[in-house]
Amino acid sequence: MVLFLGLVACEALDEKGGYYRHSMSSFRESRTQPGILEFEVTTATRSAEEGTEAEAERIRWLEDWLKQTGACPAGYRIVSREPIDPGEVNPRGHDLRYRLRCTGGD
């Protein structure tokens, strides 16, 4: 019974995108650029192909982070999308960074 409940809980997290979003991405305010938020992801997605479907999934994760944190209620604009320099200190091992700015008076 405990195993079953654990599996149900994991499935519920997956349905909401929570498990993969939390394990493969992070979201925070920029430490060096005021007014900028940073969304970092690991691009080794669950699917074998990297493309528009994987990008759409990452944007869903970003929007889930925004909703969860209450950031950018009036919208956002991505100002950059770039690989993370392999020489950069990166304890979570992410390899792609989006920088964004809230719109609509935030």
d(CA 43, CA 33): 24
Measured on CA atoms in the order 54, 59, 63, 69, is the torsion positive or negative? positive
In this predicted structure, the answer to whether residue 74 has a pLDDT above a threshold of 90 is yes
In this predicted structure, the answer to whether residue 93 has a pLDDT above a threshold of 80 is yes
Structural domain boundaries in the chain: 2-102
DSSP characters for 60-87?
A: HHHHHHHHHHT--TT-EEEEEEEEPPTT
- Residue 32 and residue 25 in contact, taking contact as beta carbons nearer than 8 Å: no
What are residue 96's DSSP bridge partners?
41, 83
More confident residue, 75 or 105: 75
Mean pLDDT confidence for 47-64: 82
* pLDDT given for residue 90 in this prediction: 82
